[in-house]
Every structure is written in C-alpha cells, then in structure tokens.
Amino acid sequence: MGKFNSIFKRKFSELDRNERIKFATDAHTNFGNISRKKLMDIYGITQIQAGLMMRDYIHEYATKIEWVEEHSHYKFTIKK
C-alpha cells in the first residue's frame, strides 16, 4: 500500500522518476549535500524509498556530483 505523505501530496509510490529527482534536487539545493539518510529525515520516507530516490538522482546527475566519503553524502562539484 503506502502511506499518504503530505509533503508529496500523495503516496510516495505514486511519484514518477522526474518527481523523485525533483524532490532530491530540492533537498540537495536547500542543504548543500544529499544522502539517503538526509532524504529519510527530510521527507519521513523509508530507507528503501530514499534509496530509490537517490538512485534516480545519481543516475541523472552522475557527471555533476561526487561522493564525499568523509561526510557520507553527495555534493555538487565541477569535475575535470
């Protein structure tokens, strides 16, 4: 089933790929970095849902982000 999430205005399972990427991008823009845990905290979603959102986001922005191991999050960067 899936619970209605007022932030998304519907169930998480009803979000399409572009909407999941938009929510992840909004979180990244607002906080300066992004991780699965951060998405869980911001949106109140499960680890699996946050993982799906991160997978879509990473696939979309792979050439524009990098993993910051020290802080366990992704951050926008200028790659050479």
Q: Alpha-carbon distance 40 to 34, whole Å? A: 11
User: So what's the architecture of 16-76 in CATH?
Assistant: Orthogonal Bundle (1.10)
Residues 61-70: pLDDT tens digits?
888 877 777 7
Structure confidence by residue, pLDDT tens digits, 7-65: 788 888 899 999 999 999 999 889 888 889 999 999 999 999 999 999 999 899 888 87
**What is the distance between the alpha carbons of residues 66 and 75, in angstroms, rounded to a whole number?**
6
**CA dist., res. 60 & res. 57, Å (int):** 5
Classified as helix, coil or strand, 79 is coil
Largest CA distance in the chain: 44
* Cα torsion angle, 29, 45, 42, 6, sign: positive
